[in-house]
Amino acid sequence: MKKVTKKLALLLCLVMLATVLVACGDKKDGDSNSGSGDSGKTDAITGTWKQTSEQDGNWIWTFSDGSKAKLVGETTGFESEGTYKLDEANKKVHVSLEKWDNEKDYDYTLDGNNLTLKETYSTFNLVKQ
């Protein structure tokens, strides 16, 4: 009887250990991180950035999960989602939005809470929100 009790106790300990190890497992890229508000990969430009300009209007860029992009023109009514790819080595960001005919490549500079996106026909001077 003692041997059976010891074996059951050992089996119970192994089951509990396995449960703890599974519960503490690694979070894979793309898994949601409930409760923290952070839902994925980050890079140098991850976040929400805003340009307020009388001449150019109010533009809000959002970069998230290492690949999702969104652009909203508060004063123009423009809104579109798409993707981005960051090339940190060459300081470039490649953006593709649903409402754009062509993808755009921007040179970027990042200085604290200030992000500048510059391409041939436009420049966005943005402040992190």
Q: How far apart are CA 84 and CA 43, in angstroms?
A: 11
Decide if pLDDT at 129 tops 90. yes
Decide if pLDDT at 64 tops 80. yes
Please tell me the predicted confidence (pLDDT) of residue 86. 94
116 and 129 Cβ atoms separated by less than 8 Å: no
Q: How far apart are CA 38 and CA 61, in angstroms?
A: 17
The band of 12, judged by pLDDT with boundaries at 50, 70 and 90, is low
Both tokens assigned to 112: 């604290």
The band of 1, judged by pLDDT with boundaries at 50, 70 and 90, is confident
95 and 80 Cβ atoms separated by less than 8 Å: no
Q: What is the DSSP letter of 16?
A: H
Q: How far apart are CA 40 and CA 37, in angstroms?
A: 9
Both tokens assigned to 40: 């994925």
Is the model more confident about 51 or about 35? Answer: 51
Please name the residues in contact with 26: beta carbons below 8 A apart, sequence gap of 6 or more.
none
52 and 60 Cβ atoms separated by less than 8 Å: no
Please tell me the predicted confidence (pLDDT) of residue 38. 45
Find the mean pLDDT for residues 111-116. Answer: 95
